[in-house]
Amino acid sequence: MRQVQVVIIGGGPAGLAAAIELYEKGVTDILILEREKRLGGILRQCIHDGFGLTRFGETLSGPEYASRFVRRVQELAIPYMTDTTVLELTQDKKVYAASPRGYLEIQAQAVILSMGCRERTRGAISIPGTRPAGVYTAGVAQAYVNLKNRMVGKNVIILGSGDIGMIMARRMTLEGAKVLGVFEIQPYASGLPRNIEQCLNDYGIPLYLSHSVTEIKGTERLESVVVSEVDEKLQPIPGTEVEYDCDTLILSVGLIPENELTWMAGAKEDGGTKGAAVDERYQTTVPGIFAAGNVLHVHDLVDFVSMEAEALADGVVRFLKGGLTESNLSVTGDAMVGQLVPARISGTEDVTISFRVRKPLRGCTVELWQNETLVKKVKQSKALPAEMIQIKVKAEQLNQTDDLEVRIVC
């Protein structure tokens, strides 16, 4: 069995950033395993700009952003294997994978999980109707248009106002398709405000809030969809049905962290993020197995993915040297807090608390409490579910005995 100090599963922005940071900190026995034929992850098909402003101070396209990390990995001669699928990960950090070179058995000292996330499909949201061709998730439609140069349709309905859905509304319009509308079941948009402006408003594409597709019609190819208004419980309102003739339905209805290997290794799940429960060094509940990026919790900006993976590298280095302290203090949030990371802290180190709010808020204050002690408070003029809030806390502000609670006061 091959021995490797650190195995990184996933060669997207998180995995690449972690590999580079580890190498520059002196850990050079690294192996990146990527199931696609090229490194770069989902960024290879994201040809629009808007990446890199936080990380590099300039705006880049997805391939440009990814290429900076890929080039650096190649300059450092960090080993990687593409077209390689990890089949099993054990609690004692044995990695089993299949590739064109054959079946691989690897014993790692530490494992970094950076598998990203996958899209929710039609089946996950249970839209009634027939099963014709012409129904795509936004990422699949994006891959067809941007990577394979194939147009997916001419008259398009988009369900869900996620960022990829809105970006595809613009992309389809630029390619000559007619986007009839973007329909969102929630009373607020789920994507970033800049994408509402740049992708919808700038191109005259209507956004319908509190609406959902309630029926799909068509035999071989999609012929039409029925859209209904929904009430405050997100249930269709009878009598509000409108039928739209279309040949394409694009779904942008959420992302799910790709965590089958995580659970296989015995790591515990965080109910809020649907990813692994991690400490402030991004270590899961299995010692030596770390997670960062969208496999941990869905991010709004890829810049944060890279920066999170770079922060993770410090924890891996310390683990390999036997220097990690236990993190026994839980981190929780009140009813308005969702997707909270980390799940636990030690109270002895600086920590960045990342979370999203469950609904749009204005004029609020985020307060961090340990028992009856106010650790820190930060005013937020507005907070949106689409945007991640990050609050940095110094070690000297924390005690080592009380759990930490995030409260939002409006």
Q: What percent of the chain has pLDDT over 90?
A: 94
Residue-level pLDDT at 330: 96
Judge contact between 226 and 97, C-beta under 8 A: no
Residue-level pLDDT at 117: 95
- Judged against a pLDDT cut of 90, whether residue 124 lies above it is answered with no
Confidence of residue 230 (pLDDT cuts 50, 70, 90): very high
Q: Which helix (H) or strand (E) holds 306?
A: helix 302-320
Considering only CA atoms, which of 383, 395, 376, 289 is closest in space to residue 336?
383
The fold adopted by the segment(s) 121-253 is FAD/NAD(P)-binding domain (3.50.50)
Counting beta carbons within 10 angstroms of the beta carbon of residue 351, is it exposed (0 to 12), middle (13 to 18) or buried (19 or more)? buried
Confidence of residue 217 (pLDDT cuts 50, 70, 90): very high
Write the class of the CATH domain 327-410.
mainly beta
N residues, the chain: 410
- Judged against a pLDDT cut of 90, whether residue 123 lies above it is answered with no
Judge contact between 196 and 219, C-beta under 8 A: no
Q: Residue 219 is encoded by which pair of tokens?
A: 């035999």
> pLDDT tens digits, residue range 14-64?
999 999 999 999 999 999 999 999 999 999 999 999 999 999 999 999 999
Considering only CA atoms, which of 136, 132, 122, 168 is closest in space to residue 249?
136
pTM comes to 0.94
The backbone torsions φ and ψ at residue 31, rounded to the nearest 5 degrees and listed phi first, read: -140, 125
**Using CA atoms, how far apart are residues 176 and 388, in angstroms rounded to an integer?**
34
Q: Residue 108 is encoded by which pair of tokens?
A: 């790692």
Residue-level pLDDT at 18: 98
Q: Residue 320 is encoded by which pair of tokens?
A: 């390999």
Domain boundaries, the chain: 1-119+255-324, 121-253, 327-410
Residue range 296-313: average pLDDT?
94
Alpha helices in 175-235 (DSSP H): 193-195
Q: Which CATH number fits domain 1-119+255-324: 3.10.20.340, 3.30.70.260, 3.10.20.30, 3.50.50.60?
A: 3.50.50.60
Q: Is 327-410 in the same CATH topology as 121-253? A: no
- Judged against a pLDDT cut of 90, whether residue 184 lies above it is answered with yes
Judge contact between 213 and 157, C-beta under 8 A: yes
Counting beta carbons within 10 angstroms of the beta carbon of residue 20, is it exposed (0 to 12), middle (13 to 18) or buried (19 or more)? buried
> pLDDT tens digits, residue range 371-383?
999 999 999 999 9
| HSE of 237, CA atoms in CB hemisphere, 13 A | 10
Residue range 192-219: average pLDDT?
96
Considering only CA atoms, which of 279, 311, 306 is closest in space to residue 293?
306
Between 190 and 5, name the one with better pLDDT: 5
